[in-house]
Chain A
Amino acid sequence: MGFLDIRNVTKSYGPVEVLHRIDIAVEEGEFLVLVGPSGCGKSTLLNMIAGLEGISGGEIAIKGRVVNGVHPSKRNIAMVFQSYALYPNMTVGQNMTFGLEMHGVPKPDRDRALADVAKLLQIETLLDRKPGQLSGGQRQRVAMGRALVRNPDVFLFDEPLSNLDAKLRVDMRTEIKKLHQKLKTTIVYVTHDQIEALTLSTRIAVMNKGHVQQLGTPKEIYDTPANLFVATFMGSPAMNIVPATVEMQNGQPHAAIADADGSIRHLRFSQANLAEWAGKSIHLGIRPEAITDPEGADRKSGNIQPFTNRVTVTEPAGSDTFVTMTLSGKDAIARMRADAAVVPGQHFDFAINMEKAVAFDPATEERITP
């Protein structure tokens, strides 16, 4: 039993079921990120934890207490909203202590809690201002401060960074992570940004169409995606998905893929059980950083396969250079070192780290597990 238990929870609007039997147990101090495209039900699930939406089936328990039907204010949770939802008529200080005031906490205690949190977030100088006089980043801090002051069991974040500009978003991301490491609080965080999910979380639930597609640590999600959806949704640029056939050579399974000129090349799999798939089609999944120049290849990998192919486009991005090529008729992207000597239109000797490659069943779109 976890700290926050989501057991077989469903949500229906009339006859339409939008969340299907969600089952997640969150441990104390965990940072769980719910990530998925818009309309996947992640915000609905968060609102159900908060008590802002009813639960159609199953139950949600916080610290072992079932909270179905319990009023949001009695669940001992705090929420940070996408629009920050700061009360425009109150000062920052009043905003942050409003919850305590509603819960009947005496003024001296409120002031002490406010002072502590303001110091933690370095917003002491803002306490007398109105939200309208703050910048986006400051509002974000105040919104977090309002949640922290309550000292709740569970923090809920609803896409808190999506209203900030790119640079500030990265800063605040680090800030939130720091805060979590310092306070060891239990957090459920909703975002559609997979980078945020990977960087912040201790565990990720990837959601799509009301189902949890995969629940796991960022590394599990990134390296061994459960299916094609997770593989393509997580990571930027997305994982390259290339149609391939499994062929046996020297008793070892190989992926047969076509290069830009149409000739078939063979790449040895590290995954021995793919022998069962000999002669069948699969989808081969390779992360962009697993395709490099030979010098840039991962030294620790035991299975680097050479692959010569024509380069279509190069996109220098400062720290990396993204190289586009054609594999089995599809565009594939390689992430190279910035100084790799790649010229568009010419052939280049790539190195593919097949240890990191994954294979998917084209029929079910599930990963073929070793």
Chain B
Amino acid sequence: MAAVTQDTAVSTGRFTRALIYLTLLLFALFYLLPLYVMGVNSLKPLSEITGGNMMALPSQWTLDPWRSAWSTAQIGVEPTGLKPYFLNSILMVVPAVAISTIVGALNGYVLTKWRFRGDTWVFGLMLFSCFIPFQIVLIPMAVVLGKLGLAGTVTGLILVHVVYGIGFTTLYFRNYYASFPTELVRAAMIDGAGFFRIFWRILLPVSGPIAVVSVIWQFTNIWNDFLFGVSFGGTSQPMTVALNNLVQSSTGVKEYNVHFAGAILAALPTLFVYIGRYFVRGLMAGSVKG
């Protein structure tokens, strides 16, 4: 990573600099506005929202909408709140991310360090999967899941997301390992390390940065997925589907404050993963120098 120093940056006048910061600030505010609206409205009673003035801070602060969204709100026909669906999502996303990242790393390792005849074709075909729209595979996927007896289960969803994610994770790891010196692998071979030992002891320890990229990408995509969840989720639907059922319900009063709280709950995990990146970067900073 090349550090941009004061010497290399273009020097600008005070006025230009102020202008730049002002513009950036405006854009930041613009993009933060929805989050603000969601935040303040999830912390006020419904009457304050329906009374107008969505932008105002709550006159009466309350956490009730959050409690309701989490544990008592009506999702479809059951008053369970989002909690069980949140759990479904976690049960789905953790193994799916882990498996697709590990398989992608192994694929990248094989495609760069254990080259075989036609390996570029294999890679090309895997890459192809990155460009197939979700909708096209819905019917064949449903058939496969049915035959495997995994329809409507968390395991089925994990399988779907792993299959779909491998294309991307393979791409990441292949390109990362392509620049990893092959001489190291040869040295390890002479030292007597086998296929998995080389992977585990030599390549994985330096794969931190790309693993972070892969995890963030996969986590965000799988957590936010709605189509596969609603199609194959069955009784174990993920958070996104539940949120839809909460917000789109056509009966009863629209509890906007609960909706806002639920939406934030649904978005929080990806935010944490994204922020977690900086934490990991800090951990890695000392170890992979040189």
Contact = CB atoms under 8 A, between A and B. Distances in A.
Interface of A: 50-52, 71-73, 77-79, 81-83, 85, 87-89, 98-99, 102-103, 130-133, 146
B290 A131 contact: yes
Nearest to B290: A132
B193 A98 contact: yes
Contact of B189 (A73, A103, A133): A73
Q: Which 10 residue pairs spanning A and B have beta carbons closest together?
A: A132-B290, A73-B192, A102-B192, A99-B191, A89-B205, A85-B187, A85-B183, A81-B183, A72-B190, A85-B184
A227 to B, nearest CB: 33
A83 B183 contact: yes
Given A73-B193, A77-B190, A85-B181, 9 more contacts: A83-B183, A85-B186, A85-B187, A87-B187, A98-B188, A99-B191, A102-B193, A132-B289, A133-B290
Interface string B162-176: 000000000000000
A71 B195 CA distance: 13
B37 interface: no
Interface of B: 181, 183-184, 186-193, 197, 201-202, 205-206, 287-290
Q: Which of B186, B192, B206, B289 has the most CB of A within 10 A?
A: B192
Q: Which of A51, A77, A85 has the most CB of B within 10 A?
A: A85
A83 B290 CA distance: 13
B288 A73 contact: no
Nearest to A71: B189
Given A81-B183, A130-B290, A132-B289, A88 B190 contact: no
Contacts of A71: 189
B191 A102 contact: yes
Given A83-B183, A89-B205, A73 B290 contact: no
5 contacts: A52-B190, A72-B189, A85-B187, A89-B206, A99-B190
B1 to A, nearest CB: 14
B186 A73 contact: no
Contact of B181 (A73, A83, A89): A83
A102 to B, nearest CB: 4
Nearest to A87: B202
A72 B187 CA distance: 10
Given A132-B290, A133-B290, A81 B186 contact: yes
Contacts of A132: 288-290
A323 B192 CA distance: 54
Nearest to B208: A89
Contacts of B183: 81-83, 85
Contacts of A72: 186, 189-190
A163 to B, nearest CB: 12
Given A81-B183, A83-B181, A89 B189 contact: no
Contacts of A78: 190
A73 to B, nearest CB: 3
Contacts of B189: 52, 71-73
A133 B290 CA distance: 7
Nearest to A81: B183
Given A81-B183, A83-B183, A98-B188, A88 B290 contact: yes
Q: Which of B186, B189, B191, B289 has the most CB of A within 10 A?
A: B191
